């Protein structure tokens, strides 16, 4: 199976992985630009969901361990939107594996703005499958 890293969806949204040095934890960033605003001038929630999904998915992969080559698929996700993000905001998302099993991984994600104000939180579970090359 051929994998493009980073995937096109991350490139399109301008998502950047800042840190994946600790297994099961990744840190990502995204700058809010005009393409992501709703008519009220704040980021549309789907873009925050995409940031959380990319971060939590990457954490699920790194949390599976270096001895395993895996692919992960989101099976469910819950998001709480706590504060509006507006044009020019720099968003930082930290995703952490809460528990990783052989088939399912449970994760938590938090998005803050450049003032360290909590913008959104998310939780998700990912199905883990061995990757064949």
pLDDT at residue 1, as a whole number: 47
Q: Are 89 and 116 in contact (CB under 8 A)?
A: no
Q: What is the mean pLDDT of residues 12-26?
A: 91
Q: What is the pLDDT of residues 103-121, one digit of tens each?
A: 999 999 999 999 999 999 9
Q: What is the mean pLDDT of residues 3-11?
A: 67
Q: Is the pLDDT of residue 26 over 60?
A: yes
Burial class for 13, CB neighbours closer than 10 Å (0-12, 13-18, 19+): middle
Q: What is the pLDDT of residues 28-85, one digit of tens each?
A: 999 999 999 999 999 999 999 999 999 999 999 999 877 778 889 999 999 999 999 9
Q: Is the pLDDT of residue 123 over 60?
A: yes
CA terminus-to-terminus distance, the chain: 5
| 11, 42, 80, 90, 110 from 33: Cα distances, Å | 14, 10, 21, 10, 20
Q: Are 84 and 32 in contact (CB under 8 A)?
A: no
Q: pTM value? A: 0.91
Domain ranges of the chain: 8-130
Does domain 8-130 bear CATH number 3.10.129.10? yes
Q: Are 110 and 121 in contact (CB under 8 A)?
A: yes
């Amino acid at each position: 199976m051929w994998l493009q890293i980073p995937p096109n969806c991350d490139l399109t949204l301008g998502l950047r992985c800042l840190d994946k040095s600790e297994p099961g934890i990744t840190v990502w960033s995204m700058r809010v630009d005009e393409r992501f605003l709703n008519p009220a001038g704040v980021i549309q929630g789907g873009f925050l969901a995409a940031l959380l999904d990319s971060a939590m998915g990457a954490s699920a992969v790194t949390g599976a361990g270096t001895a395993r080559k895996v692919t992960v698929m989101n099976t469910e996700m819950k998001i709480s939107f706590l504060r509006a993000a507006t044009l020019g905001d720099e968003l930082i998302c930290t995703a952490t594996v809460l528990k990783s099993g052989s088939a399912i991984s449970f994760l938590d994600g938090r998005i803050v703005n450049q003032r360290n104000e909590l913008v959104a939180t998310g939780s998700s579970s990912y199905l883990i499958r061995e990757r064949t090359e």
